[in-house]
Every structure is written in structure tokens, then in C-alpha cells.
Chains A and B, each alone.
Chain A
């Protein structure tokens, strides 16, 4: 259809006619993805797009020869999704936990290519305990809908770590992800040295699983964001379970609660190794969403003693107290819970 959009210039339109609808970042990303796939299909038929790309490639080639450079390892392949932290959070839990991460993070932009797949580390942030890294994956061939990277970021000088990763697809063969690694032995550290050796990309589609082996090795050193430590030492009990809040470390983008709990052998057996969940509100009624970083348990004579941390959303500047409500949660479908007495902590930072 040979449309003439010139006619639509300067038409008198009233401001109140133009109504905006709510749009999520996911919708924006999905639309960009659709548009790109349509444009690229057109390009293969010899449209504008292809010709422009060819012209750009020629220019790049000339530039590279003249300067005597090879293609740099530091590819600034800026993904078209600006804030990966937020995008992924909105696409999964929508907790708002990562809202202030981007502005406090360090841009990394290191790429490694193996098997025609380029993995770029985009941003990284270390809060003294947990390292959070955003990355993007670009593949010539599409890798399906669900990916997992094998190989975990490992801190030097630590006895172990826990963490999680989440990857979403943003375009054909393009993905963005976030990974967290919480070191057992870094508790308010000033900096961290990490190695992240990825040795395969696992594609999960329904029940089938495919693994692509390769080598994408990264090393990075990160200084921590500013930290303020508040020692707490408050505890609450229920039957033979005790929960103690050890300390809270405040960072510009979040705060992390260090806590431990003891559960007697009997209760642990009866409750099938329960977890203790923390929920936090402040004295002004703001609710803080968070994400557990995991931790480790040590067997003691009476049962297990767990040391855990959980990271919560950026602290509201006007809050003066945090009210923490611990809940014992029995694993499994029935979701049996016991709410413990709340702990009120005056904020000192």
C-alpha cells in the first residue's frame, strides 16, 4: 500500500484527544524485538536496512586498517535495553529491588566470544557481600526461549558462595540476564576479585535440554559501594526455633540483613527443614521487597545453625525504624507457617 503520511502533517489535533496507555518495559522490549525481526526480514530482500549495514561495514573496515587496530575485545555492544537490572526485575518478581542498582553500578562492557556466541558483561555491583552482574548474550543462531549459563562467578579467597541467575530473551538470538553471587566469607568487604568461567550454555525447551560447550572466561575486580554497618544483636524465639538479627549493612541502592537461626533437631525433622523468611516495613509504612541470598548451616549439638543474608530495596531516607517480621515456613505445598514476634530496629546509619 502506497501510503502518503505527508498528509498527516499539521493536522489540528487537540491535546485532550491524545490519550496514553500504560506500557511496561517488557512490552517495549517485546515491540522492539518484533520490529527488528520484521525489519531484518525486509533487509534480506535488499531493503534500506541491508544497504546501510553494508555501507557501515565498509567504513568500519577502512577505519580499522588506517588505525592499525584489530577488533577490540571490549565491544560496546550496548543492548537496546537500557537498564537490565530493572528490566529483569519487572519481568520476574516485579519487586523493585533493583530500581537503584543501575545508577550505582560500574559499567563493565567486556565481551568474550566462543562458538559464535558472544557474552558481554554489562554492569556489576558489589555491596560488600553480594556481587550482582548484568550480562547480554548475542548468538548468530537463536538459542530458544530458556537459557541457563553453567559456571558461576567465584570469589577468590572464599570457602563458597550462593546465588541465582535469571535470563530473558529480548530478540532473536539476543538475551539479557542477571546473576548474583553471595560469598560466604565476604562480610562488608571493601573489594572483591571474581572469576567467572562459563563453560556451557544450557537450552531448556519443554522437557528437552541441549548443551552448547564453549569457553567464556571473565575476571573482574570490584570495589564495594559505600557501606554503613549497624550491629543489631536482637533475637526472637518460638518453641525451639530462635532467630537473631546480627547486623544490617546499608548501601546506596539497597540494604542487607544478616541473620541467623537455630532450629532444634526435633523441630527441624517435624517441619521438614523449614526456612525462616523475613518481611520488613518501616515506621512510615513503606514495604521493602527483598531477595534471599541463601547462606550456610553448621550442625550443632541440638540441630542446625544457619547464617543467612537477605537484600532489600533501597532504604527510604525518612524512615527511622525497621520492623522485621520473621516467619517460619515449612517447605512444600501446604505452606504451613508460624509468624514470630516482630523485631523493631531503630535505624542507625
Chain B
């Protein structure tokens, strides 16, 4: 049997190789487009390739974390690709900042305010675990903002909220996360 549009999720979750082929065949254009959109300013094709690999490996190893109908898979893999690209963008920018601290404008696209520093620790599993402690809407806002690198006005638009409401929720959410995080001693990252 071969993977097709109705059975590929099940086959992927069972680690059938043909399902991975199907996913590559079907979603590579979307994954590449998504990642390239974020990373093209960095002019580093190696980074784009690495993110594409990481996205498909994540889908392979964590296919069981997908839930929904096969047609929802498109959005899921998009979100993974986007979050991989944002992660990679931030990592790269931090490295470049260290090297060229005198070029602050270089990082204009995804400016990190002092408060955002909290989420430099986001790669740590603890922080992601903490997101689950937020209520559903707040969690979605945090994922959009910090994992998918979306702007507050975009998030507001998507969720049918005002921009102020989004910013307020982010502010309150951060406070809440800081309190929780204090208990698990993330220490320096939260200063």
C-alpha cells in the first residue's frame, strides 16, 4: 500500500517511509516558501536547507503530535516550518549581534525589546511547557508572537481582537509566566 491524501497521516504516525515521501512531495513547496520568506534576508541558503530538513525530521519523529483531519496537516506543517525558521533567524541574529554589536538596525525586522529577552529562553523546554499554563487564547497569542514571529496587529486581525487587547494579554501573560518560571529557576534568563 502507498501513502495517499487520506491515509498519509496514519502511515506517517506508524513511521512508514512512503508517507514521508508523500509529505515531501506534497508539502515541500509550502515548507520551502515559508522558510525562505523568513530567512532570505540573511542570504544563507545553508540555513534554509537546514530548516527544511529539520521541519521534515520533526514531522517524522513527532507525527503523533498532530491532531486533526488530513487537510489540517497543511497548516500544522506550515506552523512547524515557520517556527523553525523564526528560531533559526533569532539564533543567527544573536550570533551576528555578538559579532557586530555596533549595527543595531540590522535586526530591525524582529526587534527584541528588553522584555522579549524572556523568550530568548524559549528554546528551553521548560518555557514551552509553561505555555500550557496559559488559557487558550493567550497561549495562541504567545505561539503566534514568539514561535511564529507574527506582529501584534497581525495577531489581532487573526483573532478578531484589538491590538491593545493583544498587547495587554501579552503583558499579563508574561507576568504570569515570570511568576511560574521563578519556581523552576530559570534564573539568569529571566533577569
Contact = CB atoms under 8 A, between A and B. Distances in A.
B29 to A, nearest CB: 4
Interface stretch (B51-59, B94-102, B109-117, B183-191): B51-59
Interface in A12-39: 12-14, 17-23, 27-28, 31-32, 34-36, 38-39
A4 B79 CA distance: 12
B24 A11 contact: no
B5 to A, nearest CB: 15
Interface string B109-141: 000000000000001010011011000000110
B35 to A, nearest CB: 9
Contacts of B36: 21
B56 to A, nearest CB: 6
Contacts of A65: none
A21 B72 contact: no
Interface in A161-199: none
A191 B161 CA distance: 71
Given A11-B79, A11-B148, A12-B158, 17 more contacts: A1-B125, A3-B125, A4-B125, A9-B65, A9-B66, A9-B72, A19-B34, A21-B32, A22-B29, A27-B28, A31-B24, A32-B20, A32-B24, A35-B24, A38-B57, A48-B15, A52-B15
The interface residues of chain B, by DSSP majority, are classed as helix
Given A5-B58, A35-B60, A18 B65 contact: no
Contact of A31 (B52, B58, B62): B52
A86 to B, nearest CB: 13
* Range, interface on chain A: 20 to 34
Contacts of A20: 29-30, 32-33
Contacts of A5: 58, 62, 65-66, 76, 80
23 contacts: A1-B125, A7-B139, A7-B143, A8-B80, A9-B67, A9-B72, A10-B72, A11-B75, A11-B144, A12-B159, A13-B78, A14-B158, A18-B34, A19-B34, A21-B29, A21-B32, A21-B33, A28-B28, A31-B28, A31-B52, A31-B53, A35-B57, A39-B57
Contacts of B132: 7
A56 B132 CA distance: 38
Contact of B62 (A3, A21, A22, A52): A3
Given A11-B143, A23-B29, A48-B15, A18 B128 contact: no
Contacts of A18: 30, 33-34, 74-75, 78
A13 to B, nearest CB: 5
Interface residues on B, range: 35 or more
Nearest to B148: A11
Contacts of B143: 7-8, 11
Contacts of A49: 15
Interface in B63-99: 65-68, 72, 74-76, 78-80, 83
A84 B141 CA distance: 46
A1 B68 contact: no
B25 interface: yes
Contacts of B159: 12
Nearest to A39: B60
Closest CB pairs A-B (n = 4): A21-B33, A20-B29, A8-B79, A2-B125
Nearest to A2: B125
